[in-house]
Amino acid sequence: MKKFAIAAAAATALTLTMANVAMAETSNQAPMQLAAGEVTKAKEATSDTWITTKVKSDLLTEKGIPGSDIKVETNKGVVSLSSDVAVTDAQKKMAVDITKKIKGVKAVSADGLKAE
């Protein structure tokens, strides 16, 4: 039984070593750099989700804006506002102003908001 355990441990160590070599050959980046890149992507996705949620909730609670009819999408801090329902120029300006005040918003595109 002891020989089997030693052989299994040796096989596991050899497999892990070979996997690390294979990964190093297929990637020009060190494993830590790859992990850091994935963490950055996850942070961006979380931040974008948070921004979208915050914009949507602020638009929903603002009187005079059809917040439930405005679609909000965020990509790397850039927020796009759109709607199938026509809004006035004043409502469009108010929606953009509200969106610009949110932390993490880099730019706002309201081209998708149809004005009356």
**What are the domain boundaries of the chain?**
2-112
pLDDT, tens only, 31-69? 666 555 666 666 666 699 999 999 999 999 999 999 999
Number of neighbouring beta carbons within 10 Å of residue 51: 24
Mean pLDDT of 96-106: 95
What phi and psi values does residue 16 have, to the nearest 5 degrees? -65, -40
DSSP 114: P
What phi and psi values does residue 111 have, to the nearest 5 degrees? -60, -25
Helix (H) or strand (E) holding 5: helix 2-26
